Amino acid sequence: MSHDFSKEFFAEYHAAVFEAVGDDAAKYNAKIGILLASHCMKKLESLPKDSAEFKKAIEAYMSDPFRFSDIAEMTFNDDGTASLYVKGCDICPGNEILREKIGKGYCPISHMVKSAMGRTLKKKVELLGSDKPGPVGECYLKYKL
């Protein structure tokens, strides 16, 4: 019998894990993102050689099998920045629980994309932050390459 996790369970689990690690949460958030990037890159047929290939590969991976949101769209800009637009994120509801309890949320996806971009594109990547224009689960993760 197949059993998928409910969004409610995942939100509670995400919040509980980061609440449990306490003061080390930021360190583990980055480490989890790096590990997720490693798993992602191992599943790719070949490593992307440029931003167009990275966009195609990361969007394909995030639409299946690593579906954590309804939408995950990567954009590279001419000014040396990039963003991942996410809508319907399964992690964000857990971060709302964390914000109520400890005042802060943790997004390993932001570090996953940073790590994967840096390793595959052979560039230094800086996470600039996120903009949250809409409801819980919608954001733009922003990067500088």
Handedness of CA 76, 129, 61, 93 (dihedral sign): negative
CB of 89 closer than 8 Å to CB of 112: no
Rounded mean pLDDT of 115-133?
95
Rounded mean pLDDT of 119-126?
95
In tens, the pLDDT along 58-111 reads 999 998 888 999 999 999 999 999 999 999 999 999 999 999 999 999 999 999
pLDDT for position 114: 97
CATH entry 3.30.1490 includes domain 7-144: no
pLDDT for position 34: 96
What's the full length of the chain, in residues? 145
Confidence of residue 3 (pLDDT cuts 50, 70, 90): low
Give, in order, the Cα–Cα distances in Å from 123 to each of 83, 102, 130: 15, 34, 20
Distance CA 15, CA 102 (A): 10
CB count within 10 Å of CB 134 equals: 9
Q: Is pLDDT above 70 for 1?
A: no
pLDDT for position 119: 94
Residue 144 three-state SS: strand
In tens, the pLDDT along 22-51 reads 999 999 999 999 999 999 999 988 899 999
Q: Is pLDDT above 70 for 2?
A: no
Confidence of residue 12 (pLDDT cuts 50, 70, 90): very high
Q: Domain segments of the chain: what residues?
A: 7-144
Tell me the whole-structure pTM to 2 decimals: 0.92
pLDDT for position 5: 74
